[in-house]
Structure 1
Amino acid sequence: MNTIKSKNDLMPLLIKALKANGLKITEKRQILLDVFLKNPNTHFDFDTLYQEVKKECPHYGVATLYRNLKIFVDRGILSENVIGDKKYYELKMFNKKKIHAHLICKYCGSIDEYYSPDLIRYIKMIDQKYDFDVYYGELNFYGICSKCKKTIQRDEEH
């Protein structure tokens, strides 16, 4: 089987991680991982992710996607975040921003990431104060994005 080439050539490392976890390397698993590698800063909900994998493989089934997502989340390759009433998935393995915050707009539902050295310093302070080693973490902040603020301000002016 040929390894799928992605923009970010981390596929060989992901395949190695799958093998190390005793997982079979299938074309559909590679397609799913490739979608994440091509969109490293995207938080996919199930429906959007399903549309993306179907572009690559029209016969990709819903059950296969659910099964592979569960496997990848359980193995620490993807993270699953519940925001509101939806689950969102993002590449966790090899992510340089392991500790970050999600900025979630309550109006349009957009999700941006916030990452800064200040956040890391704060986490290290928590580590020391509570003698607790943080390996991975996420914070969710809900508010209104700049685009929606502008739209609301325009509507109020009229």
Structure 2
Amino acid sequence: MNAIKSKNDLMSLLIKALKANGLKITEKRQILLNVFLKNPDIHFDFDTLYQEAKKEWPHYGVATLYRNLKIFVDKGILSENIIGTKKYYELKMFNKKKIHAHLICKYCGSIDEYYSPDLIKYIKMIDNKYDFDVYYGELNFYGICSKCKKTPKNEKH
């Protein structure tokens, strides 16, 4: 099997997935998907995602974004994670790290992902013990990132 090499290849696969789910391929959906493809490692909150979509097309609407996010989450293209009081979205479809942990800094709000084969082994142990098949999951850990640890305490948010 050939490796997927470009953003265009990924967009083609996303378009096929939309069609397979009976969805129309609109310019606004492609703009939204393109934002995720340009930034595959970013967890977008709604406001940031909205600003990025508007950079692509200045008339991108709030209702359109809400509607398309819901559709993409329902169809398994994006994942929606609630971290604290905010929802964050990430491209789920091509995420090789289906089961991973989010490391969330309580000061700056940065979100990093942690993935380890040991984490997968532990999940498989849970699968066997409870006869439960885990397909996807996230864990959220809250703490202090290395950058904030280096910041003097009186300068932290």
The two structures, once aligned, show a CA RMSD in angstroms of: 4.1
Cα deviation, 1:80-126, whole Å, max 9, x if unaligned, reads: 00111110000001210100000000001000000011101111111
Percent identity reads: 90
- Are 1:61 and 2:79 an aligned pair? no
With normalisation by structure 1, the TM-score equals 0.91
Give 1:8 deviation, angstroms.
5.9
Secondary structure, in 3 states, of the residue corresponding to 1:9?
A: helix
Cα deviation, 1:37-80, whole Å, max 9, x if unaligned, reads: 11111000001001101011011111100000000011111000
Give 1:155 deviation, angstroms.
5.2
Cα 1:11–1:101 change in 2 (3 A) is same
Secondary structure, in 3 states, of the residue corresponding to 1:141?
A: strand
Work out the number of aligned pairs and report it. Answer: 156
Give 1:15 deviation, angstroms.
0.5
With normalisation by structure 2, the TM-score equals 0.92
Cα 1:52–1:125 change in 2 (3 A) is same
Conserved in 2, the CA contact under 8 Å of 1:36 and 1:90?
Answer: yes
Unpaired runs of at least 5, structure 1: none
Cα 1:26–1:106 change in 2 (3 A) is same
Rounded Cα–Cα distance in structure 2 between residues aligned with 1:11 and 1:50: 20
Rounded Cα–Cα distance in structure 1 between residues aligned with 2:15 and 2:139: 29
